Structure 1
């Protein structure tokens, strides 16, 4: 991976998000569609390939780390407007979550 500058890092809008709703995308093995509150009442649809390892009901009401300013991408006709960050442990996603309850929209720096 290339080294980036601090100025480049500052371009990333990382925030705490709260998963309001999560459901498996029909006719797929990997995709989960989530409604995630990212602060000030804004709710974004985020689609992630986690369904083989995480049940949607386990994501409900969970605080997660979201990359908010990632360009939108379409999966199976669904627009995803952000990315949930997770560690990759042998192909299994391990969600990055705050140690304490933090309001949606809290900036990560």
Structure 2
């Protein structure tokens, strides 16, 4: 499937930092995370929790789509989505150099 540039331009993709994570009771593949978008924080669901401890993600500078419709998963409202490469169902989070200001728009 292909999309137009106009479709891509609708995505609000920004640099974010994972500032908090916590396990969700009864869930083994997802955790709750909080990201800093440079003056704004958001909660989201982070998948792949079976491959890492929640605290391993804290401090990572990642790429997030921030204008997706909110979705509740595991009792947590997710207000963004982190971008990751997927190898055998294991996520590898897309990151940038830490000197890029949080909230910087990805084009």
Q: TM-score range by the shorter chain?
A: over 0.9
Q: Which residue of 2 aligns with 1:42?
A: 40
Q: Which residue of 1 aligns with 2:82?
A: 84
**In 2, distance between residues paired with 1:99 and 1:85?**
15
**Post-superposition shift, 1:99?**
3.6
Q: Kindly indicate whether the alpha-carbon contact (under 8 Å) linking 1:17 and 1:64 is maintained by their aligned counterparts in 2.
A: yes
SS in 2 for 1:52: helix
Q: Which residue of 1 aligns with 2:28?
A: 29
Structure 2 residue ranges without an equivalent (≥5): none
Tell me how large the CA RMSD over aligned residues is.
1.1
**In 2, distance between residues paired with 1:79 and 1:93?**
20
Deviations 1:14-56 (A, max 9, x none): 00111110112121111111110112x1100011222111221
Structure 1 residue ranges without an equivalent (≥5): none
Aligned residue-pair number: 107
TM-score (norm 2): 0.94
- Relative distance call for 1:104 and 1:89 in structure 2 (3 A) is same
TM-score (norm 1): 0.92
Q: Which residue of 2 aligns with 1:15?
A: 14
